[in-house]
Amino acid sequence: MKHYDCVHVRLARVPQGLINLTVRVTASNGRRYALQRLHPVFGDAVNRNLARVTAHLRARGMLTPELVPTATGAPDVVLPDGRWRLLTWIDGRAFDALRTPAQARAAGQLLGRFHAALADFTGEIERDRPPVHDLERHLANLAQAIAAHPYHRLADNVAVLAAEVEAAVTALGPLPVMRPRLVHGDPKISNVLFDADGRDALCLIDLDTLARMPVVLELGDALRSWCNPGAEDAPTARIDLERMAAAMAGYETGAPGLLDAVERGAVVAATLAIHVELAARFLADALDERYFGWDSARYPGRGEHNLARARGQLRAAASLREQRVAAEAIVAARGTTTAA
């Protein structure tokens, strides 16, 4: 901590997170911070974006982690092992999967408030990496990975699932043209911080993928994460419509009237598209064996874990397709559905 104006007395690694290494720091003055080593995919723009957007969020009354500058006023420190930053710590609980529809509603309301708070943000958002959501790019990456690793131990397994991805893409069709909005970029449930009781959603964390894109891609990413009762790599992955109804009702409360008719009509299709896109990303990583973290206690290798993740996304997508008519009705209800 020599680069910051604080002296640490205790360090504890935070287990959540697939991309960045996070360490909870307790300083000698009793304050706590989140020390993070960013994944190499992130450049110096990510912290400039973070500083601009969190200042705007705070001005709108939103709770958010704040970037702590170094002793020299820099946003981060670049060391031989990577780029490090320090953030204010927010007490709360993160979950790998939602436990109740009430939590889905709370998360939806928070995301709605987040989008509403950023609706008038006019500052610059710098981009130093490709857009997070680009189905064609991820399909091309999968094809490249398959061509590059014909003798990989998981090549046959990936080929079977890649065929499912191709069929799902054919069934999807294009999304309508929609205006871009500033969004979080990665609203999975582990990036929603709840209070100690797990009832109220306090804030969104890991704002490294801030971007302007169609808001339905953000909602689709949220719903695919929040509405699966199990973890994303669970063999029983599915979409629970009670959670979807609760999440959409919460979103309408947090951002009343934000979605226009075209956006509302594309939410379910976008959710399916995100499932397929993630399946393609996970399959490519199963062969390339890089980028995403993995659970070494449950899987023999990174490839096996990402294969399970891809399989889970395809199963959840199939579940949503089977319930599509009901799901469309939920989204069209404009948040009138309540959840216990």
DSSP annotation of 93 reads B
Six token digits for residue 172: 């999807």
Q: Are 6 and 29 in contact (CB under 8 A)?
A: yes
Residue partners of 109: CB distance under 8 A and separation at least 6: 201, 250, 251, 253, 254
Mean pLDDT of 77-95: 92
Query: Residue 19 has what pLDDT?
Result: 72
Query: What are the two backbone dihedrals, phi and then psi, of residue 303, each rounded to the nearest 5 degrees?
Result: -60, -45
Q: State pLDDT tens for residues 147-202.
A: 999 999 999 999 999 999 999 999 998 999 999 999 999 999 999 999 999 999 99
How many residues make up the chain in this entry?
A: 340
- Which has the closest alpha carbon to 221: 337, 133, 138, 284? 133
Query: Residue 340 has what pLDDT?
Result: 35
Query: Residue 166 has what pLDDT?
Result: 97
Residue partners of 255: CB distance under 8 A and separation at least 6: 111, 112, 113, 115, 116
Query: Residue 309 has what pLDDT?
Result: 95
Q: State pLDDT tens for residues 225-280.
A: 999 998 788 888 999 999 999 999 999 999 999 999 999 999 999 999 999 999 99
What is the rounded distance in angstroms from the CA atom of residue 179 to the CA atom of residue 199?
33
Q: Answer whether residue 1 shows pLDDT above 70.
A: no
Q: State pLDDT tens for residues 55-77.
A: 999 999 999 999 999 889 898 99
Q: Answer whether residue 316 shows pLDDT above 70.
A: yes
Q: Answer whether residue 339 shows pLDDT above 60.
A: no
Q: Are 195 and 93 in contact (CB under 8 A)?
A: yes
Query: Residue 211 has what pLDDT?
Result: 94
Summarize the chain as % helix, strand, coil (round to 5).
45, 15, 40
Q: State pLDDT tens for residues 88-127.
A: 999 999 998 899 999 999 999 999 999 999 999 999 999 8
The model carries a pTM of 0.92
Domains, the chain, ranges and CATH?
8-88 (3.30.200.20), 101-332 (3.90.1200.10)
